Amino acid sequence: MSRPYRVMATAGHVDHGKSTLVKALTGIDPDRLREEKERQMTIDLGFAWLRLEDGTTLGIVDVPGHRDFIANMLAGVGAVDLVLLVVAADEGVMPQTEEHLRILDLLGVCNGLVAITKVDLVSQEWLLLVEEDVRQALAGTALAEAPLFPVSSLTGEGLLELKQGISTLLRSVPPPADVKRPRLLVDRVFSLHGHGTIVTGTLVGGTLLVGEAATVHPSGIHCRIRSLQSHGTSLEIAYPGSRVAANLVGVEKEALSRGNVLTTGDWLHDTALVDVRLKFVGSAAKKLTHGATVQFYSGTLESPARVRLLFDAELAPGGEGWAQLSFPRALPLASGDRFILRSVSPGQTIGGGLVVDAHPSGRHRRGDPEVADLLAKLEHADEVDRLLLKLRLSGPADVPTVATWLDRDAASALVLLDGLAQEGKVLFLGTGRAADSAVVSEASSWKALSEAMLSVLWRYHSLQPLEPGMSRQQLRRELRLRQKVFLACIDQWLREGRISAVGARVAAAGFRVTLSPEDQAAAAKLQLLLQRSGFAGLTEAEALSVVSSRLLQAMVEQGQLVRLPGGILLSEKAFAQAKEMVCELIRGLGRITVAQARDALSSNRRSTLALLALLDDQGFTRREGDYRVAGRKLAAACGEASKQGS
């Protein structure tokens, strides 16, 4: 990186000289629109840059001060290193000065300076009164200790001192972090002949490279970065903290707008529901009620939002609380993002705060103390603690879900999880280790989930002692696990010997079906009747005259009885003998009729048809017109036998 890049935004009331001051500092007129020049006021965002003595390039975002353009102002102050609050000496603190201060406070902008402009128009005594007025306005805000610089854009008075003050302050502000998750917060979209689509914005979180594949959120449009510029200089790589213009290939200008986010990789996951710490401003005209519709601003994006207060029916002015915000469409937000809320009508700044969890598991139950505890911990958690907290609350999760929680791509999330598994903090379930399929659990909560699972199974066994096990889907519903996660859990429980598999059912390890003396007697009586009936078997109605339906089903599932199509029952021994006799007939004759099978079994036509239908289904026989021939299983067995004989 040849030189550091930083970004500063202006703030302040309309006509207090922000744009004029920017031009005096930089020589660049930030008012680019014809109507701005005609009305002599900033309507949209303006941009300029300043080279400081230490080599730092300072991008400047000039924001509108008029109340009708607060949305534009918010788009300019969302990702800056510091702010320059401008107050005109001839007017002092005005309504939009105060609203801008509230916005900066809610966004957590704590690095700033104050320029008191137009000092050439006032006396020294008046200037002292204005400075006192400014100090009172700053009291209690994040800019309470901001230095004041009296300046005149007309005469140049104080401009050198202001530049030096900016340089001094920037030295104490940590440089923008490169966390390998770049986001270009788009604030302007246009096209140039011969170049195509261009977006500009402030780059945060990581770098952009010429030639890289990129994605536009929330549309999901894929494109490529043809070229990059920052402050009029062409770049091969753009660094976080800089104002960047990106020339894009593969996307039309009409498909983009302010509020889009340009990023690379698969780490950013759009969301329609977020958990937030919400601060309601003391100057709000009325209370904020549960279920209210507001206008939401974060970075350069703007969207309607519905407020779901988690522990209050309403928030009084000056109050704070936990809330969930829902949006009509998914937005490119990440945990840790700051936001502003404005009322729909009249348009006033009413609050703001911090996105504590950009990907909650769903709508929280209101008034739940566990949710309050979780959110309080998430607000200050690092990445690992965030992951472990989410796993404890939500239970096991697959790697793509973990990646979403952490604002990562699946591959890097898997690397992090591998390290935590080696430390014994997480457990991979089953045998899967692929980034798109592996499932993990927080180590200590896996024991609790396993105990809960066994509790469900043993309760089922006590209520259904004749059943060999509980259906898997019923168990999944009881445990409230997603199918993919549940399958990994079953695999792990089988590997750990906690459960046994019984066909499509599962049972707690050590469980055995036990019959009461009455059931044992009834089962023995049924087996005696089946033995006497030979290969003709019994109908279900005949069997139910001897045993209960529950006992009959248990005997079928345990393999003591075989249910043929049409409700014919055979003992397991009789079915095995009948199958072997039919197969021997086909081996000897090549093909057989129903009548031949009936006569060989000394049975009746109905039972013989049912037996052959089941053998067809199992692949031992196959129907060809009025005949049965060897099915795939019988043919394979014959082939294997002939090989062994030769």
- How many separate domains does the chain show? 5
**Are 473 and 536 in the same domain?**
no
**Are 460 and 542 in the same domain?**
no
Cα–Cα distance measured from residue 418 to residue 426, given in angstroms and rounded to the nearest whole number: 9
**Are 488 and 390 in the same domain?**
yes
Cα–Cα distance measured from residue 262 to residue 209, given in angstroms and rounded to the nearest whole number: 12
Which sign, positive or negative, has the C-alpha torsion 138, 144, 148, 153?
negative
- Residue 522 maps to a domain: no
So what's the pLDDT on residue 37? 40
- Beta strands 233-235; 271-280: pairing state: unpaired
Cα–Cα distance measured from residue 240 to residue 487, given in angstroms and rounded to the nearest whole number: 42
Which string of DSSP letters, residue by residue, matches 33-55? SHHHHHHTS--S-EEEEEE-TTS
pLDDT digits (tens, 9 = 90+) for 517-559: 787 788 788 889 988 999 999 998 888 988 888 888 878 877 7
So what's the pLDDT on residue 349? 86
Collect all residues with Cβ–Cβ distance below 8 Å to 294 and sequence separation of at least 6. Answer: 304, 305, 306, 307, 341, 342, 343, 344, 350
**Are 243 and 198 in the same domain?**
yes
In sequence order, the β-bridge partners of residue 522 are none
* 3 state SS for 202-222: EEEECCEECCCEEEEECCCEE
- Residue 519 maps to a domain: no
Among residues 138, 172, 206, the one where a domain terminates is 172
Given a contact cutoff of 8 angstroms between Cβ atoms, the answer to whether 63 and 10 are in contact is yes
Among residues 172, 193, 213, the one where a domain terminates is 172
Q: How many helices (H) and strands (E) does the chain have?
A: 20, 34
So what's the pLDDT on residue 249? 95
Percent helix, percent strand, percent coil in the chain, to nearest 5: 40, 30, 35
**Are 139 and 10 in the same domain?**
yes
Q: Which of 147, 81, 155 is nearest to 116 (CA)?
A: 147
Using a CB cutoff of 8 Å and minimum separation of 24, what contacts does 497-504 make?
498/450, 498/453, 498/454, 499/453, 499/454, 499/457, 500/469, 501/469, 502/468, 502/469, 502/557, 503/468, 503/469, 503/557, 504/471, 504/472
CATH number at residue 490: 1.10.10.10
Block mean pLDDT (10 aa), the chain, length 646: 70 83 85 43 64 83 61 67 91 88 87 94 93 93 92 93 93 87 91 86 92 95 94 88 90 92 94 96 86 92 95 91 96 93 85 94 91 93 94 92 93 94 94 86 94 95 86 94 94 95 89 78 87 90 86 80 90 91 91 93 92 92 91 69 40
Given a contact cutoff of 8 angstroms between Cβ atoms, the answer to whether 493 and 454 are in contact is no
**Are 148 and 189 in the same domain?**
no
Cα–Cα distance measured from residue 107 to residue 120, given in angstroms and rounded to the nearest whole number: 33
- Residue 575 maps to a domain: yes
SS3 66: coil
- Residue 524 maps to a domain: no
**Are 10 and 158 in the same domain?**
yes
Among residues 351, 375, 399, the one where a domain terminates is 375
So what's the pLDDT on residue 35? 42
Supply 273's token pair.
């529901």
Q: Which of 43, 194, 13, 199 is nearest to 118 (CA)?
A: 13
**Are 371 and 390 in the same domain?**
no
Given a contact cutoff of 8 angstroms between Cβ atoms, the answer to whether 176 and 159 are in contact is no
- Residue 523 maps to a domain: no
Collect all residues with Cβ–Cβ distance below 8 Å to 64 and sequence separation of at least 6. Answer: 14, 41, 42, 43, 44, 45, 70, 72, 73
Residues of the domain holding 330: 271-375
**Are 500 and 464 in the same domain?**
yes
**Are 450 and 405 in the same domain?**
yes
CATH number at residue 226: 2.40.30.10
- Residue 521 maps to a domain: no
**Are 63 and 163 in the same domain?**
yes
So what's the pLDDT on residue 4? 65
Residue 200: enclosing H or E segment and its boundaries? strand 196-204
Can you give the pTM of this predicted structure?
0.77
So what's the pLDDT on residue 71? 63
So what's the pLDDT on residue 17? 79
φ/ψ of residue 232, rounded to 5: 85, 0
Cα–Cα distance measured from residue 173 to residue 193, given in angstroms and rounded to the nearest whole number: 39
Q: Where are the beta strands (DSSP E) in 344-466?
A: 349-357, 397-398, 426-429, 439-442
- Residue 178 maps to a domain: no
- Residue 399 maps to a domain: yes
**Are 245 and 153 in the same domain?**
no
So what's the pLDDT on residue 76? 60
Given a contact cutoff of 8 angstroms between Cβ atoms, the answer to whether 35 and 271 are in contact is no
The residue with tokens 């353009």 is: 69
So what's the pLDDT on residue 379? 93
User: How would you class 40 by CB atoms within 10 Å of its CB: exposed for 0-12, middle for 13-18, buried for 19 or more?
Assistant: exposed
